Structure 1
Amino acid sequence: MRKQLLLLLLIAMCVWSCSKNGPEDKVTPTPTPTAVDSAGFASFKIEAKNNSGKIAADLNCTVTGDSIIAIVPEMTQNNKWVVTFDTKKTGTVVKVNDTLQTSGTTVTDFSRPVIYSLTSATGAVKNYTVKLRVFTGLPVLYLTTTGPVVSKDTYVKGKIDIDPNVDVEQPINHISLQIKGRGNSTWVLFPKKPYRLKFDAKAAFLGMPAAKNWVLLANYDDKTLMRTKIAFEYARRIKSDFAPQSRFVEVVMNGEFLGNYLLTSQVEVQENRVNITELKAASTDITGGYLVEIDSKLDETNWFRTTLKNLPMTIKEPEEITAPQLAYIKDYMNKTEAALYSADWKDPNIGYAKYIDAESFMRWYMVNETVKNQDSWDFSSVFYYKNVNGKLSMGPVWDFDLSGGNCNYSPSQYFIDWYTRNGLWMIRLAQDPAWNFKWRAKWAEERPKATSQIFSDIDYYSKYLQLSAAQNFKKWPTLDQYVWPNVVWLGTYDKEVQYYKAFMTQRVAWMDANINSY
């Protein structure tokens, strides 16, 4: 009897407990989440069968996030391609600029980055930026001339077709021009020639400001292909005066692939180059507008040697210099040299500081000394400029193929010791304690970032140029051969880059250790 009462009591308590919880208090099971419908590419490729005669094999493109990037290994000026793609969800609509895209059928122009917009059946939207580059991924310059380019004195007429390879904006892709050879030993000794381009009208070029005159540097004796580029970028970081802009490009002339080149600005007085007052024959103020080069070859029409140290000075601009103008700049250079070697040469009012912009000299010096540039020691490509009523300044920096341990006939091949300092004017400046103090301060200022960035630049460009270097040395198989004046020839592109980076690492370390003994 007692057991029956206890059972009834338990049942009553359960009923009371259940009735106390209303419908809103009931715990409902968590529903299993359903998959969210999304828009997106599952694959994206260029099939040979749909692009007849343009590629030899199918090209699978890399889809990363909202970017699709691929390099078509063949060189072609036809940037229109048929793409084959799969989407993640059936029913997804694919458009480019509101034009419906059909996989394996629609022809699309990839001269510039293309935005693909995908919309799923449920309205989900995803955009992809697609960049298709050709050959090595670098911009390609197609030069066509009316005849062979065999002289560095005589221009040949022609045109240039510019494929920026979606690398930069290029407003005008077809430009009339003239072309001739340039350089000295590089023109005479090497089969891969450097060139000077002269547009019929000023035009922007691969993101660089508009100008008529441009230079294609061949870098035949620099097997890293990058020594000049690294020095230019370093110079720009430390604000060396008018340091050139440059771009790596592939060059094709009259249908023949010529290899990797560095496109850069011509050293000239111009608003986007050496931006000083242009000196004309009718100018009444002749105190400025001069561009002068130390050049042992003396291959300009107007030149002179300094009175005291016999330095060879050539007049780059003005090209049509008048007798009074030539007399003025010759006198100014001689007065500068005389002040440097006078008894009161350190006096800030009557010594060398009266004639030169010491900061400008120091920035130029820093670039050349750091990379130990062979030609920076009173030989050639040492540029000075003088603006109206201004002091003598140095720049632009130029000509670095024989820097970074790439010259076997002088002390520049070794990472130790000061080198550029031994120039006739530079060695005198190095004897001034005030100059030395500023130089050490400048090194301390730039060393942590600007100078250290050299090594990151080397790593970056060695990867950037991998495909281009492979094609260049297929055209010019010199990696296992001595090319004047190489210190080493190591057989592979990567080993050449490693040698250069090791040299620069040792060079900067030596300068760190010896900066206080300057």
Structure 2
Amino acid sequence: MINPISFFLQKYSTEIGKIFELNFSGASSKKGQLKNHLIILFLLFFVSSAAQDTLTTSNLPIVIINTNGQEIPDEPKIDVDMGIIYNGPGELNHINDPFNEYEGMVGIEIRGSTSQCFPKKSYGFETRDSLGNDLNVSLLGLPEESDFVLYAPYSDKSCIRNVLAYKLSESTGHYAPRTRYCELMINGVYMGIYVLIEKVKRDENRVDIPKMTEADTTGDNVTGGYIIQVGKYDVLGWGSPYNPATYYQCYYPKESQEQQLNYIHEWMDTFENTMKNLEVPDTSFYSIIDKTSFIDYILVNEISKNPDAYRKSTFLTKERDSNGGKLAAGPVWDYNLAFGNDHDFNSFVPENWIITDTIYYSRPHWWDQMFMHPVFYAEIKERWNYLRQGPFHIDAINGIIDSCATILEEPQQRNFLKWDILGVYIWPNVFVGETYEEEIDYLKSWTADRINWMDSLFYVSTPIYEEVNFQIRVYPNPFSEKLNLQISLPGASQIHFQIFSFSGQEIYSNSFQYQISRNANFDIPLNASELPAGIYFYSCTLSTGEVYGGKLIKSN
């Protein structure tokens, strides 16, 4: 192993050697060549020394990249040298320590879309062998793979939002990209705090779906597994037949065969048709989706009020039919604008749902239909109440924030010396803290306000709606002023009837006694004329504990 300065200088051995290869046949130019070459040597020494002055010791792993004089492009990846210093948990890492975690070639490129406008760039890289082939390695304790991201927190001055969202998703029992904090040096220049993140990829330790090859074009093999990305325009994709305009990309397999692309396109069209024609209380779509994954995905996006949710950086997976064949939501990705960090539209306001907000364009129609379905909505509420007792408890969330802030306590000082943006508006900040501590306090307080608002709607654990052997009709539907309830049951003694707004707020509640010997009609004493036009839900709870529900439409 060699130390980073030796590593850096070694890569410039050719240039350094030229310093001493003076052309004595041209005596008149000898002095000039010597002067120029000494300047080069001085600059090389200065860059290496400056690196030590900026970053000498860190409690975080130190990642050092030497591009060998190349500029890192947007694409394609270029071959560069990378080394990582990591002496283990609780140990300090020194800039002169040997590379003991990784030393070798990587292919690297700038990544991101809007974030590319920031001076602090994010990078995607893959570890490679000496021939340039992918090389699976374990970096900082992550499972062996070759594709990673070096994410650059910039507008998120807490440097925590992505890590927090991924940990919340992971706590619900689903795969989320694993993360490791580090500090980055490129060509001897300190670049600040970065987050090493697993790239979304099919792998038994990442997105664990069946591997597909070019030969998987028929039978069960062509049915999965697929990774679909929403909102990413690419030649390997298709547009939704429904409004709003949505584009689906076949993210995996990357080099899809025509039969594979046709299959997943047709499957998604069938799924969209099913959702578009869904009528309450029909829950037949449960047979084609991984229900829990969708519920948990919605809750992570709503607790963070992610403005990109459901329409950008959104991944879905389709299992092989022999493994159930269901569509699942996730993994989660890209939350730097979440948790109150985006001033656009209303995403910084702790109230209101993202999933039904009409401001956010190009969200696939079926998200709204899932969320509006009373059966599905009731299960979301029940899951929320369960998670609030554990990983979504405010103490658990603050624990994640505090643990990250503690790890970053010393590195953040260097980061904001490099990037002097504390107290400075960076698009699209809502809150601009004068100190790092103020940024952390804002993240905590905003998250607490968001949770309190969601609690106000999910205030009790709602029983799951089930189909039961009785007839119920709430009419007229649509209604404008008056509602009637008609019931015909084989047996029950009391009915508890409730009406909820679309946001889940109870606006009417009453109990009715019912005689088994006859059908019953009840007038609902509700001044419906005062209700705004829109969608409402009703639930009818029997004395046996069974629950039935449906959708109501209030007209003008």
Q: Please report the TM-score for the alignment, with normalisation by the length of structure 2.
A: 0.66
Q: Do 2:385 and 2:458's aligned partners in 1 also have CA atoms closer than 8 Å?
A: no
- 2:164 equivalent to 1:230: yes
- 2:298 equivalent to 1:365: yes
Cα distance in structure 1, aligned partners of 2:279 and 2:348: 36
SS, match of residue 399 in structure 1: coil
Q: Do 2:85 and 2:101's aligned partners in 1 also have CA atoms closer than 8 Å?
A: no
Q: 2:72 aligned to 150, 165, 168, which one? A: 150
Counterpart residue identity of residue 414, structure 2: Q
Q: 1:447 aligned to 388, 391, 394, which one? A: 388
Q: CA deviation at 1:76?
A: 8.7
Q: Do 1:372 and 1:420's aligned partners in 2 also have CA atoms closer than 8 Å?
A: no
Q: CA deviation at 1:197?
A: 1.1
Q: CA deviation at 1:173?
A: 2.5
- 2:285 equivalent to 1:352: yes
> What per-residue deviation string (whole Å, max 9, x for no partner) do you get for residues 324-364 of structure 1?
1111111111111111111447534xx32232211111111
Q: 2:112 aligned to 183, 200, 203, which one? A: 183
Q: Do 2:342 and 2:428's aligned partners in 1 also have CA atoms closer than 8 Å?
A: yes
Q: Do 1:147 and 1:156's aligned partners in 2 also have CA atoms closer than 8 Å?
A: no
> What per-residue deviation string (whole Å, max 9, x for no partner) do you get for residues 406-440 of structure 1?
00112111111111354432211122121112111
Q: Do 2:59 and 2:90's aligned partners in 1 also have CA atoms closer than 8 Å?
A: no
2:191 corresponds in structure 1 to: 258
Q: 2:120 aligned to 189, 192, 195, which one? A: 192
Instruction: Indicate the RMSD between aligned Cα atoms, in angstroms.
Output: 2.2
Cα distance in structure 1, aligned partners of 2:316 and 2:305: 19
**Are residues 441 and 256 of structure 1, via their aligned partners in 2, closer, same or farther at CA, if it must alter by over 3 Å?**
same
Q: Do 2:84 and 2:100's aligned partners in 1 also have CA atoms closer than 8 Å?
A: no
**Are residues 149 and 361 of structure 1, via their aligned partners in 2, closer, same or farther at CA, if it must alter by over 3 Å?**
farther
Q: 1:419 aligned to 354, 368, 382, which one? A: 354
1:397 corresponds in structure 2 to: 332
2:58 corresponds in structure 1 to: 136
Cα distance in structure 1, aligned partners of 2:190 and 2:214: 43
Q: Do 2:87 and 2:100's aligned partners in 1 also have CA atoms closer than 8 Å?
A: no
Counterpart residue identity of residue 485, structure 1: P
1:280 corresponds in structure 2 to: 213
SS, match of residue 387 in structure 2: helix
Q: Provide structure 1 residue ranges, at least 5 long, that are not aligned to the other structure.
A: 1-53, 55-74, 79-132
Q: CA deviation at 1:369?
A: 0.7
Q: CA deviation at 1:514?
A: 1.4
Q: 2:344 aligned to 409, 415, 425, which one? A: 409
Cα distance in structure 2, aligned partners of 1:171 and 1:482: 39
2:227 corresponds in structure 1 to: 291
> What per-residue deviation string (whole Å, max 9, x for no partner) do you get for residues 265-298 of structure 1?
0011112211111122111421012111112x51
> What per-residue deviation string (whole Å, max 9, x for no partner) do you get for residues 58-87 of structure 1?
xxxxxxxxxxxxxxxxx9999xxxxxxxxx
**Are residues 244 and 263 of structure 1, via their aligned partners in 2, closer, same or farther at CA, if it must alter by over 3 Å?**
same
- 2:179 equivalent to 1:246: yes
Percent identical among aligned pairs is 29
SS, match of residue 461 in structure 1: helix
**Are residues 303 and 382 of structure 1, via their aligned partners in 2, closer, same or farther at CA, if it must alter by over 3 Å?**
same
Q: Do 1:227 and 1:401's aligned partners in 2 also have CA atoms closer than 8 Å?
A: yes
Counterpart residue identity of residue 288, structure 2: Y
1:213 corresponds in structure 2 to: 147
Counterpart residue identity of residue 185, structure 1: T
> What per-residue deviation string (whole Å, max 9, x for no partner) do you get for residues 84-134 of structure 1?
xxxxxxxxxxxxxxxxxxxxxxxxxxxxxxxxxxxxxxxxxxxxxxxxx96
**Are residues 330 and 346 of structure 1, via their aligned partners in 2, closer, same or farther at CA, if it must alter by over 3 Å?**
farther
1:495 corresponds in structure 2 to: 438
Counterpart residue identity of residue 402, structure 2: D
**Are residues 258 and 343 of structure 1, via their aligned partners in 2, closer, same or farther at CA, if it must alter by over 3 Å?**
closer
1:124 corresponds in structure 2 to: none
Q: Which has the larger radius of gyration?
A: 1
> What per-residue deviation string (whole Å, max 9, x for no partner) do you get for residues 478-514 of structure 1?
1121111111212211111111111001011111111
Q: CA deviation at 1:459?
A: 1.7
Cα distance in structure 1, aligned partners of 2:296 and 2:105: 37
SS, match of residue 247 in structure 1: strand
Q: Do 1:374 and 1:402's aligned partners in 2 also have CA atoms closer than 8 Å?
A: yes
Q: Provide structure 2 residue ranges, at least 5 long, that are not aligned to the other structure.
A: 8-54, 92-98, 129-134, 358-362, 460-502, 505-556
**Are residues 343 and 275 of structure 1, via their aligned partners in 2, closer, same or farther at CA, if it must alter by over 3 Å?**
closer
SS, match of residue 304 in structure 1: strand
**Are residues 397 and 184 of structure 1, via their aligned partners in 2, closer, same or farther at CA, if it must alter by over 3 Å?**
same
- 2:453 equivalent to 1:510: yes
Q: CA deviation at 1:167?
A: 2.5
SS, match of residue 372 in structure 2: coil
**Are residues 433 and 467 of structure 1, via their aligned partners in 2, closer, same or farther at CA, if it must alter by over 3 Å?**
same
Q: 1:485 aligned to 425, 428, 435, which one? A: 428
SS, match of residue 505 in structure 1: helix
Q: CA deviation at 1:177?
A: 1.2
1:269 corresponds in structure 2 to: 202
1:430 corresponds in structure 2 to: 371
**Are residues 273 and 343 of structure 1, via their aligned partners in 2, closer, same or farther at CA, if it must alter by over 3 Å?**
closer
Q: CA deviation at 1:144?
A: 1.5
Q: 1:327 aligned to 224, 237, 262, which one? A: 262
**Are residues 149 and 421 of structure 1, via their aligned partners in 2, closer, same or farther at CA, if it must alter by over 3 Å?**
farther
Q: Do 2:85 and 2:100's aligned partners in 1 also have CA atoms closer than 8 Å?
A: no
Q: Do 2:169 and 2:300's aligned partners in 1 also have CA atoms closer than 8 Å?
A: yes
Matched pairs, number? 384
Runs of 4+ in 1 over 6 A off after TM superposition: 75-78, 168-171
Q: CA deviation at 1:176?
A: 1.8
Q: Please report the TM-score for the alignment, with normalisation by the length of structure 1.
A: 0.71
Cα distance in structure 1, aligned partners of 2:429 and 2:329: 28
Q: Do 2:72 and 2:108's aligned partners in 1 also have CA atoms closer than 8 Å?
A: no
